Chain A
Amino acid sequence: MADDTSKPRICINHVAGRYLVYDVNDIAYLRTTWHMCGTLFGTLPQAQQQNIFLGLPLELMQEEARLLVDQRVAMIVDDSLAHRDAIKALSETDKADILAVKIQEQDKLMLANREESMKKKEAAIENAKASGKWKTKPAKAPGASTSRTEEGSLFASASDTIVDGGGGEELASTGQRTSPEDGSRQYIIPMASSAIGPHHLRLPQEPNHAPNPPEARYQVYKHLQSLGYFMSPGLRFGCQYVAYPGDPLRFHSHFLVKSLRWDEELSILDLVGGGRLGTGVKKAWMISGLEQPDKEADESEVQDVRTFCIEWAGFG
């Protein structure tokens, strides 16, 4: 699973105490191979007024970041330091090179976009003519177009603005624009800045920060993760993790997990509350912790994570 040599390590950006992943491919890899879904929390540029659907970046739990670092799958990048170093290390010729590559890329993209939009526009006009709804009115204003041509003209007008140099709306999801002083050209900066043009971002080799979740939580997380469970943050159910037996898109969760140290006291009232809550949402409430054989026992003994599942008995 963890292939140290062939696959470069995933960068987990450490920003203000949070662990963020910015690369879509990394996110897919983490989900399929490591059973980590994380939480997307970036606002979608095309739908800023809602927070039901969110996009990059993906936030990982501390435990997930720690596991990935321990397994040598990922490394932690201190975001502000990495940016400072990268900008300092960039020479004037580097900048010119990057700019040249960018211009080339964008010219290509613009040409392709223009051709596509022309095609779409023509097709839309043909369509409208065929259905007899064409009234010699140009399809520039999307609001005026009929439902049949709506899709085509929508695309057409969006890419038109690129040609005019005013917009680039459909690219906004992957990048943001910046204007040089003359204002004639805009550049798209990709969100995943692992490589800027031909230049690889110079990353510190030995990060001085490692995620350090509470030990009890981490051991429980690791145990359930190794059994194939998908864990997500438990705020919505008043617990530490919600454990899914498979990908959350395919399964309901089974357990509301609370981790405890072996000698941490748990109030019976918490057990009653957890049991009721779990049963009320067709789940079981799970308490779990790393077993410590005996208070005076030597550390060499193998320690296991022990779990107990609680449900309402159905009477009383």
Chain B
Amino acid sequence: MTTAGRSDLLNLRSVVLSNLQYQHYWTNIKLLDTRADLDEKAETDSLPRPMIYGRPPEQLYNPEPASTNESSSSEKPPADMEYVLPVHLTEKLTLRAWASVFDTLPTPSGGDASKKRIVVAVVSGDSTVVYYIMHDGIVKPRQN
């Protein structure tokens, strides 16, 4: 389903991993290779693509703009954990591939399957990494 082999994807992930750790200060990082890494009860089938699970230093996606009244008084709650999918710039993915990535992810705690999101980490040949948020379903843009 992808043009890249498994070992290529693992190399890709290691680039993204160090970028997240040392450039963007992500914490609690965990590598995801099999379904069992997502859910202990699940079987040990490998995921469609290797992924990373971790906590960004600040909340990555806030549908509501920051509420001014709360921020000063109480300490901010820790940012949500995010799923990161490393891809290479020259890859070509189909909707089927994107859907299979989302379908293996657990439903978020809110219980709304349409709120699933991943962070797509795009690696280019010069090892620049750029990040995009991808939602499963129709999700209103942040700034609108």
Task: Name B residues whose Cβ lies closer than 8 Å to a Cβ of A.
Answer: 19, 23-24, 60, 87-96, 98-99, 102, 119-122, 129-144
Contact = CB atoms under 8 A, between A and B. Distances in A.
Given A282-B143, A284-B139, A316-B129, A309 B96 contact: no
A309 B95 contact: no
A14 B116 CA distance: 43
B122 A263 contact: no
A78 to B, nearest CB: 36
A312 B94 contact: no
Interface of A: 227, 245, 252, 254-255, 260-269, 271-272, 275, 278-279, 282-284, 286-289, 291-292, 306-316
Q: Is the interface of A mostly helix, strand, loop or mixed?
A: mixed
B141 A260 contact: no
Contact of B144 (A266, A282, A288): A282
B93 A265 contact: yes
A308 B96 contact: no
B111 to A, nearest CB: 20
A278 B134 CA distance: 12
B134 A265 contact: no
Report, nearest first, the 9 A-B pairs whose CB atoms are least far apart.
A313-B131, A265-B92, A284-B141, A282-B143, A316-B131, A309-B135, A275-B132, A289-B95, A316-B130
A269 to B, nearest CB: 6
Contact of A312 (B93, B132, B138, B140): B132
B94 A265 contact: yes
A275 to B, nearest CB: 5
A264 B92 CA distance: 9
A306 B89 CA distance: 23
